[in-house]
Amino acid sequence: MTDKPTRILIAEDDPFLMKVLGTILRDEGFEVDSAKDGAEAIDRIVDDGYSVILLDLIMPKKTGFDVLQEAKKKGIKTPILVFSNLSQEEDKVEALKLGAKEFFVKSDMSIGEVTDAVKNYV
């Protein structure tokens, strides 16, 4: 067993959802960092010290699609789980094509589903 906590990055511009997810994941024993926009998310994932990245698609400065493209271009292997208000099949297909491992529609997801998915990838 390692003493180093498992690091999760949440890239989300909604402060309430960020706080809820962060609190729940911390309660599960994870170390949680946050990015409030796509540009900050890109800066943080280059660090590549994360076990899982939770990524919103609609964010200021750069979209989640931009983040996925940049991660793919830089060869980032960290599992990226997308959660978004976008529910069109084309958005899901595009996100998965760009390397997302999971795609959750915010209105259809439970916090438990997201935390279970995170645990599945760490």
Report the C-alpha gap between 80 and 62 in whole angstroms: 16
Domains, in order of start, for the chain? 7-121 (3.40.50.2300)
Residue 1 pLDDT grade (very low, low, confident, very high; cuts 50, 70, 90): very low
pLDDT at 48 (0 to 100): 62
Of 35-39, 72-76, 116-120, give the range with the top mean pLDDT: 35-39
pLDDT of 111 > 90? The answer is no
Determine contact, residues 30/118, Cβ cutoff 8 Å. Answer: yes
Mean pLDDT of the chain: 89
DSSP 74: T
Q: What is the CA radius of gyration of the chain?
A: 13
pTM as predicted: 0.90
What's the mean pLDDT in 36-43?
Answer: 95
Give me the residues paired with residue 34 across strands.
10
pLDDT given at position 4: 62
